[in-house]
């Protein structure tokens, strides 16, 4: 479910990194930013794909040049000297990889960031692109993926421009007791556009990071050093809250296979064996930073569109289909009267507490929160290996939510109450909406039944259908931590036949 418009995200991102040489003119109530100092060359043999990318970038107020293949792209790069190049991999005349090598060998263009586009999700091509000198690499969109693709593209462009000096640079710390190697690595990484600091010992690196005097995005460290080794430094970094997400590259001698194993054990992200080329160093650094950026991007996007959407995109699995799923609805009781009594901040705080509780509980049991509807949340539990929606996981998630509610009420004078409904059956899953905005969601009669069951649930309890109960009865019947009750046949609004249901609530 797209919880906010990705088109809005694209618009917001256009205001970042306004540097020297950028002019602005007022139009109506808004401010149109002209990025006169930032130009992008798009090299793509598909006219449709080229037009989509170029149009999006022009809306972001970049100057855009277009080329139909690598030969024309190289000529235009030499003429216009763009700030950044976006190139397809597979093209006639000159491929994207050949273009990338030509750009890197040109003394006037060698430092230009190059973002490669490909339709193939192939690690071999991914590796070849970085070896050719690519700065980043994005999969082309398939059906239903264009909004996510354009958001990702814009984010990656801004990241590359920041790394290459348009805005903040990526920070790298080099830690090595060899002054010659330390100086060489620093010079090479500085020439590649990074902000580099070099120290000769792991203890000094620890002090700088611990004091937050310098917080790098990546640390390149030798293994054997006095006072604190590279292994000890990485182990400390991965154990400390402020440094556990900093990427690391461990350098060791060729014969030190035990050091590599130990490095993997303490959490090193990549390894370089002496002797290594400086090209290899830059490629490794770019790969690790790209991987970290992608992970951060996914975390940010999953908060906007839900992890189930990102998983479906990654698997190229957005086509409409029928699946057996378990659907959970959770709702705050009496929320509407609260809105008139509480301040706006108090209402939002309550919703955020409730939704955080639901998301955490559902994800811990293998489900995914699909959408928020007012004060209600809808989650689904996808088919397990037997092709059935995970009924047991959904009930356990519901019990987690109710236990979290009980803990909340024990520490708050004003008590809150919720109801939860769970049903299981075949639903239709797919993208629903218009061209500008689409939701990836589940629809159908069994979704409606789950919502109706939630309305019939006793206070602070689950109300589950027979389809769910048959999967959990044996586990719950003798569980002293749970109280259950047969509710009999319920007449639900919109259903011609009554639905047999059970209530479940935790006692612990």
Distance, in Å, from the CA atom of 201 to the CA atom of 199, rounded to the nearest integer, reads 6
Taking the CA of residue 397 as centre, how many other CA atoms within 13 Å lie in the half-sphere pointing to its CB? 33
Using 50, 70 and 90 to split pLDDT, how confident is the model at 303? Answer: low
Q: What is the mean pLDDT of residues 108-127?
A: 78
Rounded to a whole number of angstroms, the CA Rg of the chain reads 27
CATH number for 171-276: choose from 3.40.50.2300, 1.10.3720.10, 2.40.270.10, 3.40.640.10.
Answer: 3.40.50.2300
CA angle 301, 303, 305 (to 5 degrees): 65
Distance, in Å, from the CA atom of 271 to the CA atom of 206, rounded to the nearest integer, reads 20
* CATH fold of the domain at 320-506: Alpha-Beta Plaits (3.30.70)
Using 50, 70 and 90 to split pLDDT, how confident is the model at 22? Answer: very low
Taking the CA of residue 432 as centre, how many other CA atoms within 13 Å lie in the half-sphere pointing to its CB? 13
pLDDT in tens, 215-253: 899 999 999 898 899 999 999 999 888 888 899 999 987
* Per-residue pLDDT at 507 exceeds 50: yes
CATH 3.30.70.1230: which residues of the chain?
320-506
Q: Which CATH class is domain 6-163?
A: alpha beta
In order, the DSSP letters of 53-116 are: HHHHHHHTT-EEEEESSHHHHHHHHHHH--SEEEEESS-SSS-HHHHHHHHHH-TTTTT--EEE
Residues 492, 453: contact at Cβ < 8 Å?
yes
Closest residue by Cα to residue 145 from 359, 301, 363, 369: 301
* Per-residue pLDDT at 449 exceeds 90: yes
Distance, in Å, from the CA atom of 303 to the CA atom of 163, rounded to the nearest integer, reads 25
332: helix, coil or strand? Answer: strand
pLDDT in tens, 95-112: 999 999 999 888 778 778
pTM passes above 0.75: no
Q: What are phi and psi of 27, to 5 degrees?
A: -130, 110
Considering only residues 334 and 315, tell me which one the structure prediction assigns the higher pLDDT: 334
Closest residue by Cα to residue 67 from 58, 56, 137, 80: 80
Other Cβ atoms within 10 Å of 475 Cβ, number: 12
Distance, in Å, from the CA atom of 74 to the CA atom of 206, rounded to the nearest integer, reads 45
Tokens of 298: 């996914």
Residues 119, 75: contact at Cβ < 8 Å?
no
Distance, in Å, from the CA atom of 390 to the CA atom of 304, rounded to the nearest integer, reads 24
Tokens of 115: 């973002």
* Per-residue pLDDT at 152 exceeds 70: yes
Taking the CA of residue 247 as centre, how many other CA atoms within 13 Å lie in the half-sphere pointing to its CB? 22
Q: What is the mean pLDDT of residues 118-145?
A: 75
Distance, in Å, from the CA atom of 96 to the CA atom of 89, rounded to the nearest integer, reads 4
Tokens of 187: 């010079």
Considering only residues 396 and 305, tell me which one the structure prediction assigns the higher pLDDT: 396
Residues 395, 424: contact at Cβ < 8 Å?
no
Using 50, 70 and 90 to split pLDDT, how confident is the model at 299? Answer: low
pLDDT number for residue 358? 94
CATH 3.40.50.2300: which residues of the chain?
6-163, 171-276
* Per-residue pLDDT at 460 exceeds 90: yes
* Per-residue pLDDT at 462 exceeds 90: yes
């Amino acid at each position: 479910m797209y919880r906010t418009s990705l088109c809005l995200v694209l618009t917001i991102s256009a205001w970042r990194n306004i540097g020297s040489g950028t002019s602005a003119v007022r139009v109506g109530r808004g401010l149109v930013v002209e990025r006169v100092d930032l130009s992008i060359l798009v090299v793509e043999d598909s006219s449709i794909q080229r037009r989509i990318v170029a149009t999006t970038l022009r809306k972001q107020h970049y100057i855009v040049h277009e080329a139909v293949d690598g030969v024309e792209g190289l000529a235009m790069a030499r003429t216009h000297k763009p700030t950044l190049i976006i190139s397809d991999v597979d093209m006639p005349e000159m491929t994207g990889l050949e273009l990338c090598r030509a750009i890197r060998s040109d003394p006037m263009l060698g430092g230009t960031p190059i973002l490669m586009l490909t339709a193939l999700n192939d690690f071999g091509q991914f590796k070849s692109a970085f070896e050719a000198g690519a700065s980043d690499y994005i999969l082309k969109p398939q059906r239903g993926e264009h909004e996510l693709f354009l958001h990702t593209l814009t984010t990656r462009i801004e990241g590359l421009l920041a790394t290459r000096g348009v805005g903040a640079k990526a920070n790298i710390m080099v830690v090595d007791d060899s002054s010659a190697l330390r100086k060489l690595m620093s010079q090479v990484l500085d020439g590649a556009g990074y902000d580099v600091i070099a120290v000769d010992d792991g203890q000094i690196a620890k002090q700088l990071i611990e004091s937050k005097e310098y917080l790098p995005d990546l640390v390149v460290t030798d293994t054997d050093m006095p006072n604190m080794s590279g292994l000890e430094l990485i182990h400390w970094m991965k154990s400390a809250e402020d440094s556990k997400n900093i990427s690391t590259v461990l350098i060791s001698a060729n014969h030190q296979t035990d050091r590599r194993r130990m490095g993997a054990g303490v959490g090193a992200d990549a390894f370089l064996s002496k002797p290594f080329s400086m090209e290899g160093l830059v490629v490794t650094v770019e790969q690790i930073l790209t991987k970290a950026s992608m992970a951060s991007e996914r975390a940010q996007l999953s908060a906007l569109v839900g992890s189930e959407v990102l998983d479906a995109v990654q698997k190229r699995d957005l086509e409409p289909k029928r699946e057996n799923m378990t659907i959970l609805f959770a709702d705050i009781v009496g929320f509407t009267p609260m809105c008139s009594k509480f301040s706006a901040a108090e209402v939002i705080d309550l919703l955020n507490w409730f939704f955080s509780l639901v998301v955490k509980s559902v994800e811990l049991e293998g489900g995914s929160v699909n959408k928020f509807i007012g004060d209600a949340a809808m989650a689904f539990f996808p088919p397990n290996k037997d092709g059935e929606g995970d009924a047991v996981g959904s009930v356990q998630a519901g019990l987690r939510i109710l236990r979290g509610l009980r803990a909340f009420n024990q520490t708050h004078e004003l008590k809150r109450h919720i109801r939860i409904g769970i049903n299981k059956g075949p639903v239709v899953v797919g993208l629903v909406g218009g061209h500008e905005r689409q939701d990836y969601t589940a629809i159908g009669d069994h979704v409606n039944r789950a919502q109706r069951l939630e309305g019939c649930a006793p206070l602070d309890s689950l109300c589950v259908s027979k389809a769910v109960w048959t999967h959990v009865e044996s586990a719950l019947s003798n569980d002293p931590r749970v109280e259950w009750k047969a509710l009999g046949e319920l007449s639900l609004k919109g259903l011609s036949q009554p639905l047999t249901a059970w209530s479940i609530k935790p006692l612990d």
